[in-house]
Amino acid sequence: MLSRIQQTDLSVPYQLRGYLYFTKTEEGKQYPLHFRQGKDQNNAEERLLDLNALAEGYSFLGLGVFQVSDDNRLLAYSTDTTGFRSTPSRLRTCNQRTLCPFVPSA
């Protein structure tokens, strides 16, 4: 079956607020990598999320929310490692790839 599946692939990019967003799958990896690139093709690709790294230590990983803020600086995402869709959302900066402190709403 694996011989019929293209393991290295690139999704069709979609445009949002001055960036092209797309995913890549790489041979030997189970989950996609999420990228963005400025509309100008000379801009470097910016990796926003590596689901393979997040899946380490878990037998399952599902991506729920994937939303970039209106000013393009923050990425909100949620992951599910149990199958019950009950994990909290995370917020990180797009450029520095650092997690922001999570403050639940009251």
Is the pTM above the cut of 0.85?
no
| pLDDT given at position 90 | 72
Across all residues in the chain, what is the average pLDDT?
A: 80
pLDDT at 1 over 90: no
DSSP letters, 52-96, are: HHHHTT-S--EEEEEEE-TTSSEEEEEEESSSS--PPEEEEETTT
Average pLDDT over residues 44-63: 88
In this structure, what are the phi and psi dihedrals at residue 54, rounded to the nearest 5 degrees?
-70, -25
The percentage of the chain sitting over the pLDDT mark of 70, rounded to a whole number, equals: 75
Instruction: Give the model's pLDDT for residue 106.
Output: 41
